[in-house]
């Protein structure tokens, strides 16, 4: 399986995403935002970072990059697409996911190890987790507050499209503690915390629970690889 990781001007975590893909047993493919060529990949990752210096709104300018028309077509045809942090912001700006991300309610950038509950373990990127499993992965952002209308929130909840919820602490004022969501089909997933930074023991979060595994983020990448192999 070949998984494309798109680099935008100001991307930061594209390299770690490619490393996570490799550790999960797939081939990472570096893609450039200014291209219209997805190079025949089987899945896509929009990585974290500070695309276009976070001007206007985080992810707003990157969502208009040339490659986003191909990303949109591929997503609508069912290709697995994962947006991590800045990538999640781009997916909402591109209307591939609902809602939006606003400035953290406390007004500051936050960087911490964050516990999440996997609420939906049937998406392309979470099928390897048991439903309800709690995982710890890093969180680092300035605009992580998830918002949507009450009607949209009710629909997301009713359709099981809240994929991750913050546990213990709501770090940014996200409505209903939502950390990540999916589209109707379950192939497009976006979340604020960073699974690609928790894929190797000794390099991820240093809380006691996370130290026991250190690889809570790897399941995102192995989930899509396993699904790809099953469907191949």
Ligand X SMILES: NC(=O)CC[C@H](N)C(=O)O
As a whole number of angstroms, the distance between CA 52 and CA 50 comes to 6
Q: Is 113 among the residues that bind ligand X (CB under 6 A)?
A: no
Structure tokens at 208: 């006691």
Phi, psi of 47 (to 5 degrees): -85, 175
197 counts as catalytic: no
User: Least distance from C-beta 130 to ligand X, angstroms?
Assistant: 27
Exactly one of 33, 70, 85, 197 is catalytic; name it. 85
Q: Which of 58, 71, 210, 224 binds ligand X (CB under 6 A)?
A: 58
Phi-psi region of 171 (alpha: psi -120 to 50; beta: other; left: phi over 0): alpha
Q: Is 93 among the residues that bind ligand X (CB under 6 A)?
A: no
Question: Which CB atom, from 42 or from 63, has the smaller least distance to ligand X?
Answer: 63
196 counts as catalytic: yes
In sequence order, what DSSP letters do the residues of 63-126 get, joined into one string?
GGSTHHHHHHHHHHTT--EEEETHHHHHHHHTTSSSSEEE--TTSS-EEEEEEEEE----STTT
The span of 142-150, 157-165, 173-181, 210-218 binding ligand X (CB under 6 A) equals 142-150
Question: Which CB atom, from 54 or from 98, has the smaller least distance to ligand X?
Answer: 54
Q: How many residues does the chain have?
A: 232
Question: Which CB atom, from 18 or from 140, has the smaller least distance to ligand X?
Answer: 140
Q: Is 227 among the residues that bind ligand X (CB under 6 A)?
A: no
Q: Residues with catalytic annotation?
A: 85, 194, 196
């Amino acid at each position: 399986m070949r998984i494309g990781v798109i680099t935008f001007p100001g991307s930061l975590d594209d390299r770690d995403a490619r490393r996570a893909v490799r550790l999960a047993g797939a081939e990472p493919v570096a893609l450039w935002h200014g291209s219209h060529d997805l190079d025949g990949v089987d899945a896509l990752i929009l990585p974290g970072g500070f695309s276009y210096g976070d001007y206007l709104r985080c992810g707003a300018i990157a969502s208009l990059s040339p490659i986003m028309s191909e990303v949109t077509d591929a997503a609508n045809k069912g290709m697995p697409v994962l947006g991590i942090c800045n990538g999640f912001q781009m997916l909402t700006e591109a209307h591939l996911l609902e809602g939006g991300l606003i400035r953290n309610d406390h007004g500051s950038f936050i960087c911490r190890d964050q516990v999440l509950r996997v609420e939906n373990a049937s998406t392309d990127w979470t099928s390897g987790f048991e439903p309800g499993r709690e995982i710890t992965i890093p969180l680092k952002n300035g605009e992580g507050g998830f918002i949507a209308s009450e009607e949209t929130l009710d629909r997301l909840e009713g359709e099981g499209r809240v994929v991750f919820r913050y546990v213990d602490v709501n770090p940014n004022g996200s409505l209903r503690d939502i950390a990540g969501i999916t589209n109707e089909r379950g192939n497009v997933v976006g979340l604020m915390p960073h699974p690609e930074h928790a894929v190797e023991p000794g390099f991820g979060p240093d809380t006691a629970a996370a130290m026991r595994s250190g690889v809570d983020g790897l399941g995102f990448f192995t989930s899509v690889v396993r699904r790809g192999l099953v469907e191949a």
